[in-house]
Amino acid sequence: MSEYSTQERSGWTGWVVFAGIMMIIAGILWTIVGFVAVFNNDWVVFGREAALFVDISGWGWLHIILGLLMLLAGFLVIQGNLFGRTIAVILAVISIVVNFLWLPVYPIWSIVIIAIDVFVIYAVIVHGRELKDA
């Protein structure tokens, strides 16, 4: 047994479990959205001048791949797996960047998601191993 495993688990492990569960839920939802985009790939955007027909099947496949990766990482984060924690941090950083770009559109929501992502990154980096040792 390692010296680290004899320490008690901190309250931050709740944030790690929260991150894993949210990743599982988001992964399922992203995958569903991806399948909807693949099977219903004709999208019409109405502008002032004309209507634009867009094929969104590429975005659908991207959502499917990221959704399945997020789903897998969520299960691995709950187990304290290093690969899952790494993917969780990468996806949380991407979420921070995306929500920063959406600040003018949804300011309150973006700030809330950025704050949650920061807490999740801290919990997964600093306390993620505690779940593995339990």
pLDDT one-digit tens code per residue, 24-76: 998 898 899 889 888 887 776 677 777 766 677 888 898 899 889 989 999 99
pLDDT at 98: 84
Distance, CA of 80 to CA of 40 (rounded, Å): 37
φ/ψ of 45, rounded to 5, equals -115, 120
User: Pick from 133, 132, 99, 116: which is nearest to 15 by CA?
Assistant: 116
| Mean pLDDT score, 121-132 | 84
Q: Which pLDDT band, with edges at 50, 70 and 90, does 133 fall under?
A: low
Q: Which pLDDT band, with edges at 50, 70 and 90, does 111 fall under?
A: very high
Average pLDDT over the chain, rounded to an integer: 83
Instruction: Compare 128 and 133 and report the one with higher pLDDT.
Output: 128
> Are the C-beta atoms of 26 and 70 separated by less than 8 Å?
yes
pTM: 0.72
Distance, CA of 42 to CA of 90 (rounded, Å): 31
Distance, CA of 126 to CA of 29 (rounded, Å): 28
CB atoms near residue 35 (< 10 Å): 15
